[in-house]
Amino acid sequence: MSSQPMKAGTAALSLAALGVVYGDIGTSPLYALKEVFGNAHHPVPITPDNVLGILSLIFWSLIVVVSIKYVAFVMRADNKGEGGIMALMALVLRGAEGKRYAPWLMLLGLFGAALFYGDGVITPAISVLSAVEGLEIATPLLKPYVIPATILVLAVLFACQYKGTAKVGALFGPVMILWFSTLGLLGIVNIVQQPHVLTALNPLYAVSFMAANTTLGFLALGAVFLALTGAETLYADMGHFGRKPVQLAWFGLVLPALTLNYFGQGALILHDPATIKNPFYLLAPEWALYPMVALATAATVIASQAVISGVYSITQQAIQLGYCPRMEVRHTSGDAQGQVYMPGINWLLFLAVVGLVLGFGSSTSIAAAYGIAVSMTMIITTILAFIVVRSLWRWHWLASALVLGVFLVVDLAFFSANIVKIHDGGWFPLTFGFGILLLMTTWKRGRSLLHSRLLADAMPLEDFVRNISGSSVQTIPGTAVFMTQNLSAVPHALTHSLKHYKALHEKIVLLTVAAVDEPVVPDGRRLEVARIDDRFYTITVRYGFMDQPDLPHALSLCDASVLAFDMMDTSFFLGRETLIPRLGSEMALWREKLFVAMFRNAGSAAAYFKLPPNRVVELGAQVVM
3-state secondary structure 300-331: HHHHHHHHHHHHHHHHHHHHHCCCCCCCCCEE
Which stretch of 54-58, 396-400, 578-582, 614-618 has the lowest confidence by average pLDDT? 578-582
pLDDT band at 46; cut points 50, 70, 90: very high
Is the pLDDT confidence value at 3 over 70? no
Which DSSP state fits 40? Answer: S
Amino acid at 182: T
pTM of the shown model: 0.80
Give the phi and the psi of residue 624 in degrees, each rounded to 5. -90, 120
308 vs 620, more confident: 308
Mean pLDDT of 582-606: 86
The residue count for the chain: 625
Is the pLDDT confidence value at 1 over 50? no
Mean pLDDT of 358-384: 85
Is the pLDDT confidence value at 344 over 70? yes
- Closest to 239 (Cα-Cα) out of 137, 310, 297: 310
pLDDT band at 338; cut points 50, 70, 90: low
pLDDT band at 164; cut points 50, 70, 90: low
Give the phi and the psi of residue 371 in degrees, each rounded to 5. 115, -40
Mean pLDDT of 585-589: 84
Question: Which alpha helices (H) appear in 321-396, and where do they start and end?
Answer: 343-360, 363-369, 372-391
CB 583 within 8 A of CB 427: no
Is the pLDDT confidence value at 262 over 90? yes
| CA–CA distance, 493 with 576 (Å, rounded to integer) | 8
pLDDT of residue 13: 73
Is the pLDDT confidence value at 524 over 80? yes
Is the pLDDT confidence value at 58 over 90? yes
Mean pLDDT of 121-133: 87
Q: Where in the chain is the domain with CATH 1.20.1740.10?
A: 3-445
Hey, which residues does 474 pair with through a beta bridge?
503
Pick the CATH number of 3-445 from 3.90.850.10, 3.40.190.10, 2.70.70.10, 1.20.1740.10: 1.20.1740.10
Mean pLDDT of 134-147: 80
pLDDT of residue 2: 35
Residue 277 CB neighbours (<10 A): 11
**Angle (CA) 543 546 550, round 5°:** 50
Is the pLDDT confidence value at 48 over 90? yes
Mean pLDDT of 358-371: 82
Is the pLDDT confidence value at 441 over 60? yes
Which stretch of 115-119, 220-224, 362-366, 598-602 has the lowest confidence by average pLDDT? 362-366
Which DSSP state fits 274? Answer: G
pLDDT of residue 194: 92
pLDDT band at 148; cut points 50, 70, 90: very high
pLDDT of residue 351: 94
CB 61 within 8 A of CB 224: yes
Q: Is 624 helix (H, G, I), strand (E, B) or coil?
A: strand
Q: Distance between the two ends of the chain, CA-based, in angstroms?
A: 65
Is the pLDDT confidence value at 260 over 90? yes
Which stretch of 41-55, 148-162, 234-248, 354-368 has the lowest confidence by average pLDDT? 234-248
Instruction: Find the largest Cα–Cα distance for the chain.
Output: 95
Give the phi and the psi of residue 208 in degrees, each rounded to 5. -65, -40
Hey, which residues does 508 pair with through a beta bridge?
480, 536
| CA–CA distance, 313 with 79 (Å, rounded to integer) | 15
163-177, 232-246, 429-443, 607-621 — most confident range: 429-443
Which stretch of 135-144, 162-171, 324-333, 508-517 has the lowest confidence by average pLDDT? 162-171
pLDDT of residue 9: 63
- Looking at the chain, the whole-number percentage of residues with pLDDT higher than 90 is 30
Is the pLDDT confidence value at 98 over 90? no
Residue 80 CB neighbours (<10 A): 14
498 vs 368, more confident: 498
Is the pLDDT confidence value at 195 over 90? yes
